A and B are shown apart, each in its own frame.
Chain A
Amino acid sequence: MHELSIALGIVKIAEDETAKVNAAKVTKIELEIGVLSGIEIESLNFVWESVVQDTVLERAEKEITVIEGRGKCIDCNTEFDMENIYDCCPKCNSNFKGILKGKELKVKALEVI
């Protein structure tokens, strides 16, 4: 359950950033999570409440933007949508590809007071 570590990482970032601007708490946090990032959003939601307790994120609204996966075939240059990290090129079936999008795991913005 690495989502727990991820949640703790998010709390650390939020604590650091609010301290930098002398804010008291976070009212909203915007996350970007790619479908190929290895994070299950359900699992993250599952641990969230207990992890944010007694932190600046305790009452923050959480907004998650899911980034769809996209890859580019190294053999034939076709760009294609990816649901899994092992999806192959739909045109030539090659497994060699670059991942263009979908690995994101980011705190995009914090709304603080």
Chain B
Amino acid sequence: MCGTCGCGTDGNGPTILKPGEHTHQAEHHHHHHDNHSHDHSHEHKHKVLEIEQDILQNNAVLAARNRGYFEAKNIFALNLVSSPGSGKTSILERTLTDLKDEIPFYVIEGDQQTLNDANRIDALDIPVIQINTGKGCHLESDMVYDAVKKLEIKNDAILMIENVGNLVCPSMFDLGESKRVVIISTTEGEDKPIKYPDMFHTSDICIINKIDLLPYVNIDVDKLKNYALQVNPKLLFFEVSATTGQGMEKWYKWLKENRINS
């Protein structure tokens, strides 16, 4: 079990469920650590394999497969990443409510536990799959591959993939998305982009959420943007409030314009 974010090695694989489906948690196994002695007996023949293999290659291969599938079906797939609670699901709820008559949407929800977020999306009558990663702290391309098979997405749709709330780990794992969207809320402090640079470096879009709270929090939004641009000068910003709806129109315009030639 790791101190940083709670991942452990006694991992059950991820579970992938539609709202209403049930699962049985596998038993947890607890390992004990013995101190190994590093005995190198040289009586056997050693052989060196120069493999030069990229550790993320497995994830990259399936991500490419997802991307090919999305492109072939003209599906615009977004990977939404943020710290826990920045408002990923709230932004989704408002976006889906406002645009679902115009655009077919599908949602994949990633959380360590619970069907809560999937149930919030299901309440809007949008097809949704929940991936529970258990101890895992990010989605990987194989989980998305399995979820996509279950979703049976129509051509020309938008697929929203809400990653596990975590500003570190999801950055390294390409899911095959068309664009990556990092969400940061006004309560998080303006220096997040340089504290967690990898996520901002790998994203295309940055949504600054909870701008309705600006009168109450001490944050300099320009400074936040400048830090983010220092990490990634190509970032495009939207300032919104999922609660009041402020600023959402610009985001909708971008969605509509970009899903065509994704």
B138 interfacial contact with A, CB 8 Å: yes
**What residues on B are CB-neighbors of A49 within 8 Å?**
33, 36
What are 5 A-B pairs with beta-carbon distances under 8 A?
A: A1-B2, A2-B169, A88-B230, A107-B51, A113-B47
The answer to whether A4 and B7 touch across the interface, beta carbons within 8 angstroms, is yes
Nearest 3 CB-CB pairs, A to B? A2-B169, A1-B7, A86-B231
Report how far A113 CA is from B43 CA in the complex, Å: 10
B102 interfacial contact with A, CB 8 Å: no
User: Known contacts being A58-B36, A86-B194, is A21 close to B49, with CB within 8 Å?
Assistant: yes
Other 13 A-B pairs with CB < 8 A, given A109-B49, A112-B49, A113-B45: A2-B137, A12-B58, A21-B49, A85-B197, A86-B231, A95-B233, A106-B52, A107-B52, A107-B53, A108-B51, A109-B48, A112-B46, A112-B47
B198 interfacial contact with A, CB 8 Å: yes
**What residues on B are CB-neighbors of A6 within 8 Å?**
55-56, 172
A35 interfacial contact with B, CB 8 Å: no
**What residues on B are CB-neighbors of A13 within 8 Å?**
51, 53, 55
B9 interfacial contact with A, CB 8 Å: yes
A residues apposed to B, CB below 8 Å: 1-6, 9-10, 12-13, 17, 21, 23, 27, 38-39, 43, 46-47, 49-51, 53, 58-59, 61, 84-86, 88, 95-96, 105-113
Q: Which of B167-192 contact A (CB under 8 A)?
A: 168-173
Determine chain B's interface SS by DSSP, over half rule: loop
The answer to whether A105 and B47 touch across the interface, beta carbons within 8 angstroms, is no
**What residues on B are CB-neighbors of A112 within 8 Å?**
46-49
**What residues on A are CB-neighbors of B24 within 8 Å?**
none
User: Known contacts being A43-B4, A95-B230, is A10 close to B55, with CB within 8 Å?
Assistant: yes
User: Known contacts being A13-B55, A50-B9, A61-B38, is A5 close to B50, with CB within 8 Å?
Assistant: no
**What residues on B are CB-neighbors of A27 within 8 Å?**
40, 46
